[in-house]
Amino acid sequence: MVEIKLTNTRTRRKEAFAPIDPANVRMYLCGPTVYDRAHLGNARPVIVFDVLLRLLRHVHGEGCVTYVRNFTDVDDKINARAAATGRPIRDITDETIGWYHADMDALGAARPDHEPRATDYIAQMVDMTGELIAKGHAYETEGHVLFDVRSFPDYGKLSGRSVDDMIAGARVEVAPFKRDPMDFVLWKPSDADTSGWDSPWGRGRPGWHIECSAMSKALLGDSFDIHGGGIDLQFPHHENEIAQSCCASPQADFARVWLHNEMLQVEGRKMSKSLGNFFTVRDLLDGGTPGEVIRLVFLMTHYRKPMDWTADKAREAEATLRKWHALAAGAQDRGHLDAGIVDLLADDLNTAGALSRLHAMARDLAENATRDCHVEKGIFLSSARLLGLLLPGMDGWLSAGPDLSAQAARLVRLRDEAKASRDFAALDAFKAALTDAGVIIRMNRDGVELDPSPSFDAAKLAALS
């Protein structure tokens, strides 16, 4: 069996992955708060853990992996959106979940086995909160229930900071009812205009951190294999999850392996509305960037390195995928994978290395196009699909192709001018430029037909206008 190695944030080491139960590998990924469209950064953990999911299923068996990703559908941002629009909270969250599914489906991400909504697990959150109070790890004060951070000696090990260092570096106003500035909310009161549920501490709603602990326990058990998310969740969210879960179930490990993907930039700068470089996945999709192209750009960078989204990378990815789809045309996915690609992904999800291997395989196929390579093409296709590329139904964007009508009209005009002047220099130069941009030209007495080739380069075409 292939040995998978993963960098465990908790130990800060690359470790051989040994599941608790090889017949049921269990993985939890923190999902979105559903009040608005998913921005581009939200897509990175989805794609990273989708590749891990595909690898785990390949190594351990299709039916031997349980993948959970939650929806946070109780949150002050959701309440504010409902108050501002006058819409029921459930309508807002249902609509946003629908948007999220459509956008992540477009990126080729498989749906998790379970997608729990926080509001469906309030009872489990209340039970866990009560258990933490009973065990001396939480306390009730002024309608709130707070976790006592000092009661958990290992607090801060995930992020590598002591509680005193965290307090010294904090720049937040501390609520007067907290025993310690680092104590965090498990339950808080709700007024008449805010969503809430009955509890032993009065009508209220859960804090953010308790929901993932309660839902992962309900669906994966007290101990499971992998917990993941963006590096921005390492503290405080994941640190708090560990504290409350380990205190509620001290006999268990909670999550054995913690994986965190690094942050995303746009054209070398942090994505920000104030900088004008903030956009959603849907903005890109509606703007003509195919989901498969977005996915390939993400895979170019190792998940533990900061990723920079650029227009040049998107153009490069589109050109690559056009070539790969053409090379794989007619190939059969028989599940035979390139061992080198499997090994690269098993080495801490080295997607950049796996893509380099795919590029090499593609070059070999192109150089041997004159002979029968159906076996090699099948291996190439199956290996690309392990990365979530060249999936069935993901090639619809190719058929639409670029709009080349303006270039065709220009060719007709230049041809007519050349016939009249007997000077074909301008016509030949434009044809050469189109060919260099990867455009196939068919000219006859009835007109001009232009089509993109597998090497089509949208940037070069744009430079001709």
pLDDT digits (tens, 9 = 90+) for 378-416: 999 999 999 999 999 998 888 766 778 888 889 999 999
Mean pLDDT of the chain: 93
Task: For 188, list phi and psi in degrees, rounded to 5.
Answer: -140, 150
Domain contains 174: yes
Residue 169 has pLDDT above 60, yes or no: no
Strands 307-309 and 264-266, how do they pair? Answer: parallel
Owner of token pair 């090379």: 327
Residue 172 has pLDDT above 60, yes or no: no
Name 432's Cβ contacts closer than 8 Å, sequence gap at least 6: none
443 and 416 within one domain: yes
In whole angstroms, give the CA distance from residue 333 to residue 342: 16
Residues 95 and 81: beta-carbon distance below 8 Å = no
Owner of token pair 């205190």: 247
Residue numbers of the domain that contains 360:
288-399
**Total of domains in the chain:** 3
| pLDDT band at residue 89 under the 50/70/90 scheme | very high
pLDDT value of position 298: 98
219 and 308 within one domain: no
In whole angstroms, give the CA distance from residue 206 to residue 70: 15
Backbone φ/ψ region at 69: left (φ over 0), alpha (ψ -120 to 50), beta:
beta
Which structure tokens are listed for 448? 């001009």
Q: Which DSSP symbol is given to 202?
A: -
If 0-12 CB within 10 Å is exposed, 13-18 middle and 19+ buried, where does residue 127 land? middle
Q: What is the pLDDT of residues 66-85, one digit of tens each?
A: 999 999 999 999 999 999 99
pLDDT value of position 367: 85
Chain centroid to Cα 94, Å, comes to 20
211 and 86 within one domain: yes
Residues 378 and 338: beta-carbon distance below 8 Å = no
Q: What is the pLDDT of residues 96-126, one digit of tens each?
A: 999 999 999 999 999 999 999 999 999 999 9
Tell me the three-class secondary structure of 270-334, residue by residue: ECCCCCCCCCEHHHHHHCCCCHHHHHHHHHCCCCCCCEEECHHHHHHHHHHHHHHHHHCCCCCCC
pLDDT value of position 114: 98
pLDDT value of position 402: 72
Q: Which of 250, 270, 228, 283 is nearest to 106 (CA)?
A: 283
Residue 370 has pLDDT above 70, yes or no: no
Domain contains 273: no
Q: Which DSSP symbol is given to 112?
A: P
Tell me the three-class secondary structure of 121-150, residue by residue: HHHHHHHHHHHHHHCCCEEEECCEEEECHH
| pLDDT band at residue 176 under the 50/70/90 scheme | confident
| pLDDT band at residue 168 under the 50/70/90 scheme | low
437 and 306 within one domain: no
426 and 293 within one domain: no
115 and 242 within one domain: yes
318 and 260 within one domain: no
Averaged pLDDT, 347-363? 97
Residue 190 has pLDDT above 80, yes or no: yes
pTM value is: 0.86
Task: For 5, list phi and psi in degrees, rounded to 5.
Answer: -120, 135
Domain contains 250: yes
In whole angstroms, give the CA distance from residue 228 to residue 56: 15
345 and 222 within one domain: no
For residue 432, count other CB atoms closer than 10 A to its CB.
11
